[in-house]
Chain A
Amino acid sequence: MFHRRRATMAAFLLPAIVVYGVFMLYPLARGVYLSMTDSLGGPIANFVGTQQYRAMADDPAVTDALWHTVLYAAVVVVVQNGLGLLFASMLFRRPKVRKVLNVVLLTPTLISPVMAAFIWSYLFAPTGGINALLDLVGLHGLNHVWLGDTSTALYSVAAVNIWMFTGYSCAIFLASYMSMPTELLEAAALDGASGWRRFVSIEWPLLAPALTVNVTLSLIGSLKVFEFPLVLTNGGPAGATDTLTLLVYRNVFGGGKFAYGVALSVVLLVTVVVLSSATSSLLRLRERRI
Protein backbone atom coordinates (compact mmCIF):
# COMPACT_ATOMS: atom_id res chain seq x y z
CA MET A 1 0.00 0.00 0.00
CA PHE A 2 2.74 2.42 0.96
CA HIS A 3 4.60 1.61 -2.21
CA ARG A 4 1.73 2.63 -4.46
CA ARG A 5 1.24 5.71 -2.37
CA ARG A 6 4.79 6.77 -2.89
CA ALA A 7 4.47 6.29 -6.65
CA THR A 8 1.42 8.57 -6.69
CA MET A 9 3.33 11.11 -4.65
CA ALA A 10 6.24 11.03 -7.07
CA ALA A 11 3.78 11.70 -9.90
CA PHE A 12 3.01 15.06 -8.24
CA LEU A 13 6.42 16.14 -9.45
CA LEU A 14 5.56 15.70 -13.12
CA PRO A 15 4.06 19.11 -13.99
CA ALA A 16 6.90 20.93 -12.26
CA ILE A 17 9.58 18.82 -13.92
CA VAL A 18 8.03 19.25 -17.36
CA VAL A 19 7.68 23.06 -17.17
CA TYR A 20 11.00 23.58 -15.43
CA GLY A 21 12.81 21.18 -17.71
CA VAL A 22 11.44 22.54 -20.96
CA PHE A 23 11.51 26.26 -20.17
CA MET A 24 14.52 26.50 -17.87
CA LEU A 25 16.95 23.59 -17.97
CA TYR A 26 16.70 22.97 -21.70
CA PRO A 27 17.25 26.67 -22.62
CA LEU A 28 20.14 26.73 -20.16
CA ALA A 29 21.83 23.77 -21.84
CA ARG A 30 21.01 25.07 -25.31
CA GLY A 31 22.47 28.45 -24.35
CA VAL A 32 25.77 26.88 -23.37
CA TYR A 33 25.82 25.03 -26.70
CA LEU A 34 24.83 28.13 -28.71
CA SER A 35 27.66 30.09 -27.10
CA MET A 36 30.04 27.73 -28.88
CA THR A 37 28.52 28.29 -32.32
CA ASP A 38 28.36 31.16 -34.80
CA SER A 39 24.54 31.22 -34.67
CA LEU A 40 22.70 34.33 -35.80
CA GLY A 41 19.46 33.11 -34.29
CA GLY A 42 18.41 31.34 -37.48
CA PRO A 43 18.48 27.66 -38.34
CA ILE A 44 22.10 27.63 -39.51
CA ALA A 45 24.80 27.35 -36.87
CA ASN A 46 28.35 26.02 -37.05
CA PHE A 47 30.26 24.79 -34.05
CA VAL A 48 33.18 27.15 -33.45
CA GLY A 49 34.39 26.05 -30.02
CA THR A 50 35.68 28.79 -27.78
CA GLN A 51 35.88 31.41 -30.53
CA GLN A 52 33.21 33.69 -29.01
CA TYR A 53 34.94 33.58 -25.64
CA ARG A 54 38.31 34.35 -27.17
CA ALA A 55 36.78 37.32 -28.97
CA MET A 56 35.65 38.70 -25.61
CA ALA A 57 39.20 38.92 -24.34
CA ASP A 58 39.98 41.41 -27.13
CA ASP A 59 36.77 43.36 -26.64
CA PRO A 60 37.29 46.28 -24.25
CA ALA A 61 33.50 46.73 -24.02
CA VAL A 62 33.28 43.34 -22.31
CA THR A 63 36.07 43.86 -19.78
CA ASP A 64 34.64 47.31 -18.99
CA ALA A 65 31.14 45.92 -18.54
CA LEU A 66 32.41 43.15 -16.31
CA TRP A 67 34.24 45.69 -14.16
CA HIS A 68 31.18 47.99 -14.00
CA THR A 69 28.98 45.08 -12.99
CA VAL A 70 31.27 44.01 -10.16
CA LEU A 71 31.90 47.57 -8.94
CA TYR A 72 28.19 48.33 -9.04
CA ALA A 73 27.43 45.18 -7.04
CA ALA A 74 30.12 45.98 -4.47
CA VAL A 75 28.80 49.51 -3.90
CA VAL A 76 25.21 48.34 -3.65
CA VAL A 77 25.98 45.45 -1.30
CA VAL A 78 28.06 47.56 1.10
CA VAL A 79 25.97 50.74 1.21
CA GLN A 80 22.55 49.14 1.07
CA ASN A 81 23.29 46.66 3.85
CA GLY A 82 25.15 49.24 5.92
CA LEU A 83 22.21 51.61 5.78
CA GLY A 84 19.74 48.78 6.33
CA LEU A 85 21.62 47.68 9.43
CA LEU A 86 21.81 51.24 10.75
CA PHE A 87 18.08 51.74 10.29
CA ALA A 88 17.25 48.34 11.79
CA SER A 89 19.33 48.85 14.92
CA MET A 90 17.89 52.32 15.46
CA LEU A 91 14.35 51.11 14.85
CA PHE A 92 14.81 48.20 17.25
CA ARG A 93 15.65 50.62 20.04
CA ARG A 94 12.53 52.70 19.36
CA PRO A 95 9.49 50.43 19.59
CA LYS A 96 7.05 53.35 19.32
CA VAL A 97 8.05 54.38 15.82
CA ARG A 98 9.30 50.99 14.70
CA LYS A 99 6.34 49.62 12.80
CA VAL A 100 5.41 52.81 10.98
CA LEU A 101 8.92 53.71 9.87
CA ASN A 102 9.61 50.14 8.76
CA VAL A 103 6.59 50.22 6.45
CA VAL A 104 7.57 53.66 5.17
CA LEU A 105 11.06 52.40 4.36
CA LEU A 106 9.56 49.50 2.44
CA THR A 107 7.49 51.66 0.08
CA PRO A 108 10.23 52.09 -2.55
CA THR A 109 10.59 48.29 -2.64
CA LEU A 110 7.08 47.94 -4.06
CA ILE A 111 7.75 50.21 -7.01
CA SER A 112 8.93 48.57 -10.17
CA PRO A 113 12.52 49.28 -11.23
CA VAL A 114 11.23 50.93 -14.42
CA MET A 115 9.07 53.34 -12.46
CA ALA A 116 11.82 54.04 -9.92
CA ALA A 117 14.17 54.81 -12.79
CA PHE A 118 11.57 57.19 -14.27
CA ILE A 119 11.35 59.14 -11.05
CA TRP A 120 15.09 59.32 -10.55
CA SER A 121 15.91 60.22 -14.13
CA TYR A 122 14.18 63.52 -13.45
CA LEU A 123 15.69 63.94 -9.99
CA PHE A 124 19.16 63.50 -11.51
CA ALA A 125 18.51 65.79 -14.49
CA PRO A 126 20.58 69.00 -14.74
CA THR A 127 17.56 71.14 -13.85
CA GLY A 128 15.92 68.37 -11.84
CA GLY A 129 15.11 67.76 -8.22
CA ILE A 130 18.53 67.12 -6.69
CA ASN A 131 20.24 70.15 -8.17
CA ALA A 132 17.22 72.31 -7.29
CA LEU A 133 17.41 71.00 -3.74
CA LEU A 134 21.11 71.80 -3.55
CA ASP A 135 20.35 75.34 -4.77
CA LEU A 136 17.62 75.66 -2.19
CA VAL A 137 19.96 74.89 0.71
CA GLY A 138 22.67 77.11 -0.72
CA LEU A 139 25.02 74.42 -1.97
CA HIS A 140 24.93 75.57 -5.56
CA GLY A 141 28.58 74.58 -5.95
CA LEU A 142 27.67 70.91 -5.66
CA ASN A 143 25.39 71.02 -8.71
CA HIS A 144 26.26 68.28 -11.11
CA VAL A 145 25.14 66.50 -14.27
CA TRP A 146 24.79 63.28 -12.30
CA LEU A 147 24.02 60.85 -15.11
CA GLY A 148 26.00 62.69 -17.78
CA ASP A 149 29.40 62.53 -16.17
CA THR A 150 31.42 59.34 -16.57
CA SER A 151 32.79 59.67 -13.03
CA THR A 152 29.39 59.83 -11.29
CA ALA A 153 26.99 57.99 -13.61
CA LEU A 154 27.56 54.46 -12.31
CA TYR A 155 27.30 55.55 -8.68
CA SER A 156 24.15 57.53 -9.41
CA VAL A 157 22.53 54.46 -10.93
CA ALA A 158 23.68 52.43 -7.91
CA ALA A 159 22.11 55.06 -5.63
CA VAL A 160 18.69 54.37 -7.14
CA ASN A 161 19.16 50.67 -6.53
CA ILE A 162 20.17 51.40 -2.94
CA TRP A 163 17.23 53.75 -2.47
CA MET A 164 14.84 51.06 -3.61
CA PHE A 165 16.10 48.15 -1.52
CA THR A 166 17.48 49.60 1.72
CA GLY A 167 14.04 49.07 3.28
CA TYR A 168 14.22 45.42 2.29
CA SER A 169 17.62 44.92 3.94
CA CYS A 170 16.37 46.79 6.98
CA ALA A 171 13.28 44.56 7.24
CA ILE A 172 15.42 41.41 7.19
CA PHE A 173 17.81 42.76 9.84
CA LEU A 174 14.88 43.94 11.94
CA ALA A 175 13.23 40.51 11.77
CA SER A 176 16.47 39.04 13.04
CA TYR A 177 16.60 41.61 15.82
CA MET A 178 13.06 40.71 16.85
CA SER A 179 13.96 37.05 17.19
CA MET A 180 16.88 37.72 19.54
CA PRO A 181 16.49 36.13 22.96
CA THR A 182 15.18 38.87 25.25
CA GLU A 183 16.97 37.40 28.28
CA LEU A 184 20.34 37.96 26.67
CA LEU A 185 19.63 41.59 25.87
CA GLU A 186 18.24 42.21 29.33
CA ALA A 187 21.21 40.61 30.99
CA ALA A 188 23.50 42.83 28.95
CA ALA A 189 21.51 45.90 29.94
CA LEU A 190 21.75 44.90 33.62
CA ASP A 191 25.50 44.48 33.28
CA GLY A 192 25.63 48.04 32.06
CA ALA A 193 26.51 47.24 28.48
CA SER A 194 24.88 49.85 26.32
CA GLY A 195 25.02 51.43 22.90
CA TRP A 196 28.01 50.54 20.81
CA ARG A 197 29.35 47.97 23.26
CA ARG A 198 26.10 46.01 23.24
CA PHE A 199 25.94 46.17 19.48
CA VAL A 200 29.45 44.85 18.96
CA SER A 201 29.49 42.03 21.45
CA ILE A 202 25.88 40.84 21.40
CA GLU A 203 23.80 42.07 18.50
CA TRP A 204 26.37 41.82 15.69
CA PRO A 205 27.16 38.12 16.28
CA LEU A 206 23.46 37.31 16.56
CA LEU A 207 22.80 39.10 13.27
CA ALA A 208 25.21 36.82 11.37
CA PRO A 209 22.55 34.69 9.59
CA ALA A 210 20.63 37.81 8.57
CA LEU A 211 23.83 39.31 7.20
CA THR A 212 24.42 36.19 5.11
CA VAL A 213 20.92 36.36 3.63
CA ASN A 214 21.10 40.10 3.02
CA VAL A 215 24.51 40.09 1.38
CA THR A 216 23.70 37.11 -0.82
CA LEU A 217 20.35 38.52 -1.95
CA SER A 218 21.69 41.98 -2.70
CA LEU A 219 24.72 40.53 -4.47
CA ILE A 220 22.68 38.33 -6.81
CA GLY A 221 20.15 41.13 -7.34
CA SER A 222 22.73 43.77 -8.21
CA LEU A 223 24.83 41.54 -10.47
CA LYS A 224 21.83 40.99 -12.69
CA VAL A 225 20.62 44.59 -12.64
CA PHE A 226 19.01 45.59 -15.92
CA GLU A 227 16.18 48.11 -15.73
CA PHE A 228 18.05 50.82 -13.80
CA PRO A 229 20.94 51.31 -16.25
CA LEU A 230 18.66 50.65 -19.23
CA VAL A 231 16.14 53.37 -18.40
CA LEU A 232 18.44 55.85 -16.64
CA THR A 233 21.43 55.89 -18.99
CA ASN A 234 21.16 53.04 -21.49
CA GLY A 235 24.81 52.29 -20.78
CA GLY A 236 26.04 55.84 -21.32
CA PRO A 237 27.77 58.22 -21.08
CA ALA A 238 30.52 56.69 -23.20
CA GLY A 239 29.72 53.21 -21.90
CA ALA A 240 30.32 54.22 -18.27
CA THR A 241 27.23 52.35 -17.06
CA ASP A 242 27.30 49.41 -19.45
CA THR A 243 26.68 46.24 -17.47
CA LEU A 244 26.84 42.61 -18.56
CA THR A 245 23.06 42.41 -18.80
CA LEU A 246 22.89 45.43 -21.11
CA LEU A 247 25.54 43.89 -23.37
CA VAL A 248 23.67 40.59 -23.47
CA TYR A 249 20.43 42.34 -24.38
CA ARG A 250 22.02 44.55 -27.01
CA ASN A 251 23.96 41.74 -28.70
CA VAL A 252 21.17 39.18 -28.68
CA PHE A 253 18.35 41.46 -29.82
CA GLY A 254 20.29 44.29 -31.42
CA GLY A 255 21.15 42.20 -34.42
CA GLY A 256 24.16 40.51 -35.90
CA LYS A 257 25.92 39.09 -32.87
CA PHE A 258 23.48 36.57 -31.47
CA ALA A 259 25.95 33.87 -30.43
CA TYR A 260 28.28 36.48 -28.93
CA GLY A 261 25.41 37.76 -26.79
CA VAL A 262 24.61 34.23 -25.67
CA ALA A 263 28.26 33.66 -24.75
CA LEU A 264 28.14 36.87 -22.71
CA SER A 265 25.11 35.53 -20.87
CA VAL A 266 27.12 32.44 -19.96
CA VAL A 267 29.82 34.75 -18.57
CA LEU A 268 27.10 36.48 -16.54
CA LEU A 269 25.89 33.13 -15.20
CA VAL A 270 29.41 32.10 -14.19
CA THR A 271 30.00 35.48 -12.51
CA VAL A 272 26.76 35.26 -10.52
CA VAL A 273 27.23 31.63 -9.49
CA VAL A 274 30.91 31.97 -8.55
CA LEU A 275 30.59 35.25 -6.64
CA SER A 276 27.36 34.40 -4.85
CA SER A 277 28.35 30.89 -3.83
CA ALA A 278 31.79 32.05 -2.69
CA THR A 279 30.27 34.89 -0.64
CA SER A 280 27.55 32.82 0.92
CA SER A 281 29.86 29.95 1.87
CA LEU A 282 32.37 32.40 3.36
CA LEU A 283 29.60 34.03 5.39
CA ARG A 284 28.24 30.65 6.48
CA LEU A 285 31.70 29.68 7.67
CA ARG A 286 31.82 32.92 9.63
CA GLU A 287 28.41 32.17 11.18
CA ARG A 288 29.73 28.90 12.52
CA ARG A 289 32.83 30.48 13.97
CA ILE A 290 30.96 33.11 15.94
Chain B
Amino acid sequence: MTSDITSPPVETRPSLVGKHRVPDRPRTPSRTSRNPLRRLAGGLGTALLSLGTLLFVLPFLFTVVTSLRTAADVARSPLGIPHSLTLKNFSDAFSQIHYGPSTLNTLFITSVSCVAITVIGSLAAYPLARITQHWSTAVYRLFILGTSVPVFVVVAPLYLLMRDLNLLDTYTGVVLIYIALNLPVAVFFYTSFIRSVPADLEEAAALDGCGAFRTFFTIILPLLRPVTSTLLTFVSLQIWNDLLVPLVFLQDPDKRTVMVNAYSFIDPHTVQPTTLFPAALLGVVPLLLIFVFFQRQVVAGMSAGAVKS
Protein backbone atom coordinates (compact mmCIF):
# COMPACT_ATOMS: atom_id res chain seq x y z
CA MET B 1 0.00 0.00 0.00
CA THR B 2 1.78 2.81 -1.07
CA SER B 3 2.26 3.16 0.20
CA ASP B 4 -0.05 3.57 0.18
CA ILE B 5 -2.28 4.43 1.70
CA THR B 6 -1.97 6.79 4.60
CA SER B 7 -5.67 6.82 5.07
CA PRO B 8 -6.79 4.36 7.69
CA PRO B 9 -9.20 1.54 7.29
CA VAL B 10 -12.55 2.52 8.74
CA GLU B 11 -13.43 1.79 12.34
CA THR B 12 -11.82 -1.22 13.82
CA ARG B 13 -14.20 -3.32 15.76
CA PRO B 14 -12.97 -3.87 19.28
CA SER B 15 -11.84 -7.44 19.48
CA LEU B 16 -12.94 -7.43 23.11
CA VAL B 17 -16.38 -8.12 21.81
CA GLY B 18 -15.12 -10.43 19.13
CA LYS B 19 -13.33 -12.70 21.54
CA HIS B 20 -16.46 -13.64 23.39
CA ARG B 21 -18.52 -14.35 20.38
CA VAL B 22 -19.86 -17.78 19.65
CA PRO B 23 -16.98 -19.74 18.14
CA ASP B 24 -16.96 -20.41 14.43
CA ARG B 25 -20.39 -20.47 13.01
CA PRO B 26 -20.54 -21.95 9.56
CA ARG B 27 -19.49 -18.95 7.50
CA THR B 28 -20.49 -20.21 4.12
CA PRO B 29 -24.04 -21.01 3.12
CA SER B 30 -24.58 -24.74 3.05
CA ARG B 31 -24.77 -26.32 -0.33
CA THR B 32 -28.25 -27.70 -0.80
CA SER B 33 -27.54 -29.42 -4.06
CA ARG B 34 -25.18 -32.32 -4.59
CA ASN B 35 -25.81 -32.37 -8.27
CA PRO B 36 -22.68 -33.69 -10.09
CA LEU B 37 -22.85 -30.99 -12.75
CA ARG B 38 -22.73 -28.36 -10.05
CA ARG B 39 -19.83 -30.04 -8.36
CA LEU B 40 -17.95 -30.06 -11.61
CA ALA B 41 -18.63 -26.33 -12.03
CA GLY B 42 -17.51 -25.77 -8.44
CA GLY B 43 -14.30 -27.69 -9.05
CA LEU B 44 -13.64 -25.72 -12.20
CA GLY B 45 -14.18 -22.51 -10.27
CA THR B 46 -11.66 -23.55 -7.64
CA ALA B 47 -9.15 -24.42 -10.34
CA LEU B 48 -9.64 -21.06 -12.04
CA LEU B 49 -9.37 -19.27 -8.73
CA SER B 50 -6.12 -21.02 -7.88
CA LEU B 51 -4.77 -20.24 -11.31
CA GLY B 52 -5.68 -16.58 -10.90
CA THR B 53 -3.98 -16.43 -7.53
CA LEU B 54 -0.95 -18.16 -8.99
CA LEU B 55 -0.70 -15.39 -11.57
CA PHE B 56 -0.34 -12.92 -8.71
CA VAL B 57 2.57 -14.75 -7.07
CA LEU B 58 4.20 -15.74 -10.34
CA PRO B 59 6.26 -12.53 -10.66
CA PHE B 60 7.43 -13.13 -7.13
CA LEU B 61 8.41 -16.77 -7.70
CA PHE B 62 10.07 -15.77 -10.95
CA THR B 63 12.07 -13.17 -9.03
CA VAL B 64 13.27 -15.75 -6.53
CA VAL B 65 14.24 -18.30 -9.18
CA THR B 66 15.99 -15.76 -11.41
CA SER B 67 17.94 -14.39 -8.45
CA LEU B 68 19.45 -17.84 -7.98
CA ARG B 69 20.55 -18.25 -11.60
CA THR B 70 23.71 -17.05 -13.30
CA ALA B 71 23.51 -14.03 -15.60
CA ALA B 72 24.56 -16.04 -18.64
CA ASP B 73 21.94 -18.66 -17.94
CA VAL B 74 19.17 -16.06 -17.69
CA ALA B 75 20.32 -14.29 -20.85
CA ARG B 76 20.12 -17.55 -22.78
CA SER B 77 16.51 -18.19 -21.79
CA PRO B 78 14.70 -15.85 -19.39
CA LEU B 79 11.98 -18.36 -18.61
CA GLY B 80 14.04 -21.51 -19.02
CA ILE B 81 14.71 -24.16 -16.44
CA PRO B 82 17.71 -23.13 -14.34
CA HIS B 83 20.80 -25.23 -15.02
CA SER B 84 22.76 -24.27 -11.97
CA LEU B 85 21.93 -22.32 -8.87
CA THR B 86 24.13 -19.72 -7.25
CA LEU B 87 24.04 -17.37 -4.29
CA LYS B 88 26.58 -15.02 -5.81
CA ASN B 89 23.93 -12.58 -7.05
CA PHE B 90 22.77 -12.08 -3.49
CA SER B 91 26.23 -11.41 -2.15
CA ASP B 92 26.86 -8.95 -5.00
CA ALA B 93 23.63 -7.09 -4.33
CA PHE B 94 24.39 -7.23 -0.61
CA SER B 95 27.55 -5.19 -1.04
CA GLN B 96 26.25 -3.04 -3.88
CA ILE B 97 23.39 -1.53 -1.89
CA HIS B 98 25.36 -1.53 1.40
CA TYR B 99 22.74 -3.86 2.74
CA GLY B 100 23.95 -4.42 6.30
CA PRO B 101 24.24 -0.79 7.43
CA SER B 102 21.25 0.42 5.43
CA THR B 103 19.00 -2.27 6.89
CA LEU B 104 20.09 -1.26 10.39
CA ASN B 105 19.29 2.36 9.54
CA THR B 106 15.85 1.42 8.24
CA LEU B 107 15.18 -0.77 11.24
CA PHE B 108 16.21 2.00 13.62
CA ILE B 109 14.09 4.66 11.95
CA THR B 110 11.06 2.37 11.65
CA SER B 111 11.13 1.15 15.23
CA VAL B 112 11.73 4.53 16.88
CA SER B 113 8.95 6.09 14.78
CA CYS B 114 6.57 3.23 15.56
CA VAL B 115 7.12 3.47 19.31
CA ALA B 116 6.68 7.24 19.28
CA ILE B 117 3.55 7.08 17.13
CA THR B 118 1.97 4.49 19.43
CA VAL B 119 2.76 6.40 22.63
CA ILE B 120 1.90 9.90 21.44
CA GLY B 121 -1.13 8.71 19.46
CA SER B 122 -2.71 6.71 22.27
CA LEU B 123 -2.12 9.49 24.81
CA ALA B 124 -3.83 11.99 22.52
CA ALA B 125 -6.71 9.67 21.70
CA TYR B 126 -7.75 9.25 25.35
CA PRO B 127 -8.93 12.83 25.95
CA LEU B 128 -10.26 13.06 22.40
CA ALA B 129 -12.46 10.03 23.00
CA ARG B 130 -13.59 10.94 26.51
CA ILE B 131 -13.94 14.72 26.54
CA THR B 132 -16.95 15.75 24.51
CA GLN B 133 -16.69 19.47 23.99
CA HIS B 134 -16.46 21.77 21.02
CA TRP B 135 -12.73 22.23 21.24
CA SER B 136 -12.00 18.52 21.44
CA THR B 137 -14.16 17.77 18.40
CA ALA B 138 -12.33 20.50 16.53
CA VAL B 139 -8.92 19.09 17.49
CA TYR B 140 -10.06 15.61 16.43
CA ARG B 141 -11.18 16.95 13.05
CA LEU B 142 -7.85 18.68 12.60
CA PHE B 143 -6.06 15.38 13.09
CA ILE B 144 -8.37 13.49 10.72
CA LEU B 145 -7.72 16.13 8.07
CA GLY B 146 -4.17 14.84 7.99
CA THR B 147 -5.22 11.43 6.65
CA SER B 148 -5.82 12.83 3.18
CA VAL B 149 -2.80 15.13 2.94
CA PRO B 150 -0.17 13.59 0.64
CA VAL B 151 3.46 13.95 1.76
CA PHE B 152 4.17 15.85 -1.44
CA VAL B 153 2.12 18.78 -0.27
CA VAL B 154 4.34 19.37 2.75
CA VAL B 155 7.67 18.11 1.45
CA ALA B 156 8.99 21.46 0.20
CA PRO B 157 8.06 23.56 3.25
CA LEU B 158 9.26 20.71 5.47
CA TYR B 159 12.61 20.85 3.73
CA LEU B 160 12.95 24.55 4.53
CA LEU B 161 11.84 23.94 8.11
CA MET B 162 14.33 21.12 8.62
CA ARG B 163 17.08 23.25 7.18
CA ASP B 164 16.23 26.10 9.55
CA LEU B 165 16.12 23.73 12.51
CA ASN B 166 19.40 22.11 11.47
CA LEU B 167 17.66 18.76 11.27
CA LEU B 168 18.56 17.89 7.68
CA ASP B 169 20.53 14.66 7.49
CA THR B 170 19.50 13.61 10.98
CA TYR B 171 17.43 10.66 12.12
CA THR B 172 15.61 13.02 14.49
CA GLY B 173 14.27 14.99 11.54
CA VAL B 174 13.12 11.91 9.64
CA VAL B 175 11.51 10.38 12.70
CA LEU B 176 9.67 13.62 13.52
CA ILE B 177 8.31 13.72 9.98
CA TYR B 178 7.12 10.12 10.18
CA ILE B 179 5.43 10.79 13.52
CA ALA B 180 3.62 13.83 12.15
CA LEU B 181 2.58 11.97 8.99
CA ASN B 182 1.24 8.93 10.82
CA LEU B 183 -0.30 10.55 13.89
CA PRO B 184 -3.64 11.10 12.09
CA VAL B 185 -4.01 7.36 11.48
CA ALA B 186 -3.00 6.54 15.05
CA VAL B 187 -5.36 9.11 16.55
CA PHE B 188 -8.16 7.85 14.32
CA PHE B 189 -7.59 4.19 15.23
CA TYR B 190 -7.23 4.75 18.96
CA THR B 191 -10.03 7.30 19.34
CA SER B 192 -12.60 5.16 17.59
CA PHE B 193 -11.45 2.18 19.61
CA ILE B 194 -11.59 3.90 23.00
CA ARG B 195 -15.01 5.34 22.14
CA SER B 196 -16.33 1.83 21.67
CA VAL B 197 -15.18 0.82 25.16
CA PRO B 198 -17.68 1.66 27.93
CA ALA B 199 -16.43 4.33 30.35
CA ASP B 200 -17.81 2.60 33.48
CA LEU B 201 -14.50 1.17 34.54
CA GLU B 202 -12.71 4.49 34.32
CA GLU B 203 -15.48 6.24 36.27
CA ALA B 204 -15.21 3.67 39.01
CA ALA B 205 -11.45 4.17 39.06
CA ALA B 206 -11.94 7.93 39.28
CA LEU B 207 -14.27 7.54 42.26
CA ASP B 208 -11.62 5.43 43.92
CA GLY B 209 -9.27 8.37 43.55
CA CYS B 210 -7.40 7.23 40.50
CA GLY B 211 -5.92 10.16 38.57
CA ALA B 212 -5.97 10.54 34.82
CA PHE B 213 -2.44 9.17 34.50
CA ARG B 214 -3.10 6.04 36.52
CA THR B 215 -6.41 5.44 34.80
CA PHE B 216 -4.74 5.65 31.42
CA PHE B 217 -1.86 3.36 32.25
CA THR B 218 -3.74 0.75 34.28
CA ILE B 219 -7.08 0.64 32.47
CA ILE B 220 -6.89 2.07 28.96
CA LEU B 221 -3.43 1.03 27.86
CA PRO B 222 -3.84 -2.73 28.38
CA LEU B 223 -7.08 -2.60 26.38
CA LEU B 224 -5.32 -1.11 23.39
CA ARG B 225 -3.18 -4.14 22.57
CA PRO B 226 -5.21 -5.57 19.68
CA VAL B 227 -5.72 -2.25 17.95
CA THR B 228 -2.04 -1.46 18.45
CA SER B 229 -0.92 -4.53 16.54
CA THR B 230 -3.19 -3.55 13.66
CA LEU B 231 -1.82 -0.03 13.69
CA LEU B 232 1.78 -1.18 13.89
CA THR B 233 1.36 -3.47 10.89
CA PHE B 234 0.04 -0.57 8.92
CA VAL B 235 2.52 2.06 10.04
CA SER B 236 5.65 -0.08 9.92
CA LEU B 237 4.89 -1.09 6.34
CA GLN B 238 4.49 2.56 5.40
CA ILE B 239 7.74 3.64 6.99
CA TRP B 240 9.91 0.68 6.03
CA ASN B 241 8.85 0.88 2.40
CA ASP B 242 8.94 4.66 2.07
CA LEU B 243 11.33 6.20 -0.43
CA LEU B 244 10.54 9.90 -0.49
CA VAL B 245 11.28 11.05 3.07
CA PRO B 246 14.73 9.43 3.41
CA LEU B 247 15.56 10.36 -0.19
CA VAL B 248 14.94 14.04 0.48
CA PHE B 249 15.98 14.38 4.11
CA LEU B 250 18.96 12.01 4.42
CA GLN B 251 21.76 12.92 2.06
CA ASP B 252 24.60 11.39 4.06
CA PRO B 253 25.30 7.97 2.44
CA ASP B 254 25.99 6.41 5.85
CA LYS B 255 22.51 7.26 7.07
CA ARG B 256 20.55 6.09 4.06
CA THR B 257 17.87 3.43 4.16
CA VAL B 258 17.54 0.26 2.08
CA MET B 259 15.03 1.78 -0.32
CA VAL B 260 17.15 4.86 -1.02
CA ASN B 261 20.28 2.80 -1.57
CA ALA B 262 18.51 0.39 -3.85
CA TYR B 263 16.96 3.27 -5.76
CA SER B 264 20.15 5.26 -6.17
CA PHE B 265 22.59 2.43 -6.86
CA ILE B 266 20.52 0.39 -9.25
CA ASP B 267 19.17 1.58 -12.55
CA PRO B 268 16.48 -0.87 -13.61
CA HIS B 269 16.82 0.08 -17.27
CA THR B 270 20.43 -0.91 -17.78
CA VAL B 271 20.92 -3.51 -15.11
CA GLN B 272 20.61 -7.29 -15.42
CA PRO B 273 17.72 -9.07 -13.71
CA THR B 274 20.30 -11.07 -11.79
CA THR B 275 21.40 -7.85 -10.07
CA LEU B 276 17.98 -6.26 -9.90
CA PHE B 277 16.04 -9.14 -8.39
CA PRO B 278 18.32 -10.04 -5.49
CA ALA B 279 18.36 -6.36 -4.54
CA ALA B 280 14.57 -6.27 -4.62
CA LEU B 281 14.32 -9.42 -2.52
CA LEU B 282 16.88 -8.22 0.02
CA GLY B 283 14.83 -5.08 0.57
CA VAL B 284 11.75 -7.14 1.30
CA VAL B 285 13.15 -10.06 3.28
CA PRO B 286 13.29 -8.61 6.82
CA LEU B 287 9.70 -7.38 6.70
CA LEU B 288 8.51 -10.56 5.01
CA LEU B 289 10.09 -12.69 7.73
CA ILE B 290 8.41 -10.67 10.46
CA PHE B 291 5.07 -10.88 8.70
CA VAL B 292 5.25 -14.59 8.04
CA PHE B 293 5.69 -14.91 11.78
CA PHE B 294 2.76 -12.62 12.58
CA GLN B 295 0.75 -13.71 9.56
CA ARG B 296 -2.59 -13.91 11.33
CA GLN B 297 -2.40 -10.43 12.86
CA VAL B 298 -1.29 -9.01 9.54
CA VAL B 299 -4.22 -10.38 7.60
CA ALA B 300 -6.62 -9.38 10.36
CA GLY B 301 -5.08 -5.93 10.50
CA MET B 302 -5.20 -5.36 6.80
CA SER B 303 -8.80 -6.41 6.50
CA ALA B 304 -10.03 -4.76 9.70
CA GLY B 305 -11.23 -1.94 7.49
CA ALA B 306 -14.50 -3.13 6.15
CA VAL B 307 -15.93 -4.56 9.33
CA LYS B 308 -17.89 -1.63 10.57
CA SER B 309 -20.03 -2.08 13.63
Which residues of chain A have a CB within 8 Å of any CB of chain B? 1-2, 5-6, 8-10, 12-13, 15-17, 19-20, 22-28, 30-31, 34, 41, 87, 90-95, 97, 101-123, 127-129, 132-133, 136, 161, 163-168, 171-176, 178-179, 182, 185-186, 188-190, 209-210, 212-214, 216-217, 220-221, 223-228, 230-232, 244-245, 248-249, 252-253, 258, 261-262, 265-266, 268-269, 272-273, 276-277
Contact = CB atoms under 8 A, between A and B. Distances in A.
B101 interface: no
B176 A93 contact: no
A223 B303 CA distance: 22
Given A15-B120, A119-B59, A95 B154 contact: no
Given A109-B302, A178-B27, A220 B268 contact: no
Contacts of B180: 19-20, 22-24
Contacts of B27: 95, 178, 182
Dominant secondary structure at the A interface: helix
A265 B156 CA distance: 9
Dominant secondary structure at the B interface: helix
A112 B120 contact: no
A224 B150 contact: yes
Interface string B167-190: 000000000110111011001000
B152 A101 contact: no
B107 interface: no
A121 B152 contact: no
Which residue among B78, B124, B216, B291 has the maximum number of chain A CB atoms within 10 Å of its CB? B78
Contacts of A111: 60, 241, 280, 284
Interface size, B (range) = 35 or more
Nearest to B164: A43
Interface of B: 1-7, 9-10, 25-32, 42, 45-46, 48-50, 52-53, 56-57, 59-60, 62-63, 77-79, 120-121, 123-124, 126-128, 130-131, 136, 139, 142-143, 146, 148-161, 176-177, 179-181, 183-184, 187, 206, 211-213, 216, 237, 240-244, 248, 259, 262-263, 266, 268-269, 273, 276-277, 279-281, 283-284, 287-288, 291, 295, 298-299, 302-308
